Structure 1
Amino acid sequence: MNGTTTDDRDGTTARHIPLGRPPTSRRDLLVKALWIGVWLVFLSSPVEDLAGGGHSTAATVAGSCGLAVFVAVYLAMVFRNMGRPFPPRAVFGLGGVLGVLATVLACTLGSAWLGLFVYLAVAFGATLPLRAAYWAVPASALVMYLIGLRSDEKQARGLVVLALLIGFAMTGVGQLVRTTIELRKARATVAHLAANEERLRLARDLHDLLGHSLSLITLKSELAGRMLPGHPEQAARQVADIEQVSRQALVDVREAVTGYRRPRLAAELAGAQVALAAAEVVAEVPADPDLAGVPEEAESALAWALREAVTNVVRHSGADRCAVRLLRRETLDGPVLELTVEDNGSGGSGKGPGNGLTGLTERLEKAGGTLRAGRAKQGFRLVARVPATPAPDVGSGA
């Protein structure tokens, strides 16, 4: 989940608090506080009991202080630490404080305070380890029922069911938050490992490309230096060889850099899935494309087409659904790989192709492909085709 989603289509910014991550701005803090406040409305019974004047002044003050401490500990235990690694002693300590406060307040001030045990079950379910939560939630419900037998058995019976349902539901929520945090860490680790692997690959390729050439240039330079006084013609030949080797090394480096900069369709498909999800667009994206036999230049052209199409969907279309399809087709010109990106948005500006589509058309034509883009029944459709097999060598005919 993402903390901030910027929607360039209408100039608005949609913000939501990411799961398992603390708020990072005042607005996030306000949204989370409002969300917390909705659930605290169930504390209205204790508040009404205190405001009703049915207790002495000392009991009212003590009850108010106890309720304030209960709410503070509850919020600190649940909302600040849900899903995070938390010291077991702190968890059980705060849970014990909540349990003692709920028991004392319910026993001394009446059945209106039995609802505190529901919050206790929520706290146990959200923060305790699963094994501990499985007995702590029923135990809190049992204590509440036993206390309720003294004042209002019917109310206690109904709250027991509520405490069990919400408590065990919160065990699932807590597990979801923990899993989300672990997934986020795993993604960061994978990205770090991928970056390290790419650096290692770059180092290996540069060594393979330049190691031999630079060694040969060094050797021939030393040889030319020794030949220069007595054999200038041989030294000149060595210098000419040095020039040829250096030019070839430069060509190899340029080709390698071009390969690094060339986008890959599989990577662009994964990036499209992430970009569309971040823009809150329901996406259908193929996971494992079949690119066997597809020329690198054709694959690169399709990758550029996909990038341009997804960028247009996110920024300009106003769509909430997007389907990406990748199919092999047989045509009169031979087998082709067809990429289709279709959304249910506004269908484009209607002012003709923009610079992005114009450049994309030229790029596809250079790779032997074609591009069709225009309004569909429910939005905009882009169809890009490239040859699925290398072009035949005209000069190698029999």
Structure 2
Amino acid sequence: MTEEHRGPMPGRPPENRQEAMRKLVWIGIWLAFLGAPVSDLLKEEHTAWATALGWLALAAFVGVYLALVFRHTARPLARATVSSMVAFLFCLAVVTSLTLDSPWLVLFVYVSVGCGAALPLELARWAIPGVTVVMALTGLTTRGQWGDFLPGLAIPALLGGFAMTGVRHLVRTTVQLREARATVAQLAANEERLRLARDLHDLLGHSLSLITLKSELAGRMLPDRPEQAARQVADIEQVSRQALVDVRAAVSGYRRATLAGELAGARTALTAAGVAADLPAAAELPPGAPPDAEEALAWVVREAATNVVRHSAARKCLITLTERQTLDGRFVELRIEDDGRGGPSAPAPGNGLTGLAERLAKVGGGIETSCGKGFTLVARVPLAQERGSAAPEGRDAR
């Protein structure tokens, strides 16, 4: 199953041609409101020279507008370049409206949107109302019924321009959150390295010092007292073996996946991918869970969250951790549901589900999958029966 393409993230430039085309189509679809100038040129009410210049001005306006909005929202242009492009659009809107009549006043709406999309926010707050006022004054000089054009153009000019400033605020906040998340992840990684360094120092510092001391002592004893030197060498072997055991235990503890850690990682991954995550607040297993049950369920959460992000095209993901009593005994059940396009109903050999089934089988559990409106994965691990529990009815106690 191939990875689902979600398009460019807010505040991030397109990474390939497909993302660039999607963004260009999203920006260009709003050019449909230029139907009034196009209709005006097609009516042939102007001279051939004015019609030709009108088509040329409209093409230049659309080209500069798309370059301004598309290019600036991908990678910000220099302030002087932005100001020049906005000024060009503004002058072209004024000239065409004065010479070709009121249908061309709609160009001011795009100038207002361009101001909101590209100008500095402090300047855009004043430029958008200014463009709207100039549009109103220009409309008074045209031959059309300006009273009919004012509500249909002034309001979109104001709303469109300020809506773009709101989108820019949202994009800037998204970028800042992404940078903050990356910083937190880096700090967490640095803290983990420091903790590992401290633990290894505490584990190996005393052992290595003792090994060094006994090695020097054995070296001095070797010529005259070989038996005592041999005892020192035996002590060195014992200390080094114990140090090796301690290091292996420490490293295995760092490698061990925890349910709380994987749930936190799943929340971050799902949120970053635009998936609404509903996850349990607590990640403690009920009494009676096998020793390795938490690690097995943690791997289930990791694999399931990865599949939701990469393959499901889901908008929501629900993860629940509950204890259930069945006819076969007590179970802890981990359920992951999404509203995406679904997937295979059973684990296929060689994929991640097979690995999860093998991990759960080691702790006596199992995994079930189903797809309908979305994809559901259920992992169950049996819990040990509590001492003193009554025997099930219908069985003879022998």
Equivalent in 378, 384, 389 of residue 382 of structure 1: 378
Q: Is this contact kept in 2: 1:102–1:117, CA < 8 A?
A: yes
Instruction: State the superposition RMSD in angstroms.
Output: 3.9
| Cα-to-partner distance string for 1:45-68 (whole Å, 9 max, x where unaligned) | 333434544444554454444333
Q: CA deviation at 1:360?
A: 2.5
Matched, 1:123 2:114: yes
1:350 to 1:63, Cα distance in 2 relative to 1, 3 A: closer
- What secondary structure sits across from 1:81 in the alignment? helix
Q: CA deviation at 1:359?
A: 1.8
Equivalent in 126, 151, 155 of residue 161 of structure 1: 155
Q: Which runs of 5+ in 1 are unaligned?
A: 1-7, 392-398
The residue type equivalent to 2:236 in the other structure is I
Q: CA deviation at 1:192?
A: 2.3
Q: Is this contact kept in 1: 2:113–2:157, CA < 8 A?
A: yes
Matched, 1:198 2:192: yes
Cross-structure match for 2:363: 364
| Cα-to-partner distance string for 1:330-373 (whole Å, 9 max, x where unaligned) | 99xx9986533345756823999x743542233434xxxx5564
Normalised to the residue count of structure 2, the TM-score between the two structures is 0.78
- Alpha-carbon distance in structure 1 between the residues aligned to 2:371 and 2:87: 62
Q: CA deviation at 1:235?
A: 0.6
Matched, 1:303 2:298: yes
- What secondary structure sits across from 1:179 in the alignment? helix
| Cα-to-partner distance string for 1:286-305 (whole Å, 9 max, x where unaligned) | 25545799998443233123
The worse-fitting range, judged by mean Cα deviation, of 248-257 and 92-101 is 92-101
Q: Which runs of 5+ in 2 are unaligned?
A: 388-398
Cross-structure match for 1:28: 19
Q: Is this contact kept in 1: 2:71–2:77, CA < 8 A?
A: no
Q: Residues 144-183 of structure 1: matches in 2 within 5 Å?
A: 144-151=135-142, 152=144, 153=146, 154-183=148-177
The residue type equivalent to 1:172 in the other structure is G
| Cα-to-partner distance string for 1:215-240 (whole Å, 9 max, x where unaligned) | 22111111111110011111111101
1:137 to 1:377, Cα distance in 2 relative to 1, 3 A: closer
The worse-fitting range, judged by mean Cα deviation, of 371-380 and 54-63 is 371-380
- Alpha-carbon distance in structure 1 between the residues aligned to 2:121 and 2:229: 80
Equivalent in 211, 214, 222 of residue 220 of structure 1: 214
| Cα-to-partner distance string for 1:60-106 (whole Å, 9 max, x where unaligned) | 45444433333333223222223866654444443233222221221
Cross-structure match for 2:346: 349
Equivalent in 97, 114, 127 of residue 136 of structure 1: 127
The residue type equivalent to 2:297 in the other structure is L
- Alpha-carbon distance in structure 1 between the residues aligned to 2:347 and 2:209: 59
Equivalent in 88, 94, 117 of residue 97 of structure 1: 88
The worse-fitting range, judged by mean Cα deviation, of 55-64 and 221-230 is 55-64
Q: Is this contact kept in 2: 1:316–1:348, CA < 8 A?
A: no
Cross-structure match for 1:325: 320
Q: Is this contact kept in 1: 2:346–2:370, CA < 8 A?
A: no
Q: Residues 98-113 of structure 1: matches in 2 within 5 Å?
A: 98-113=89-104
Q: Residues 10-25 of structure 1: matches in 2 within 5 Å?
A: 11=2, 13-25=4-16
Cross-structure match for 2:31: 40
- Alpha-carbon distance in structure 2 between the residues aligned to 1:210 and 1:387: 38
Normalised to the residue count of structure 1, the TM-score between the two structures is 0.78
The residue type equivalent to 2:33 in the other structure is F
The worse-fitting range, judged by mean Cα deviation, of 36-45 and 216-225 is 36-45
- Alpha-carbon distance in structure 2 between the residues aligned to 1:281 and 1:85: 28
Percent identical among aligned pairs is 54
| Cα-to-partner distance string for 1:136-163 (whole Å, 9 max, x where unaligned) | 2222111111111222212234211221
Q: Is this contact kept in 1: 2:8–2:14, CA < 8 A?
A: yes
Q: Residues 238-249 of structure 1: matches in 2 within 5 Å?
A: 238-249=232-243
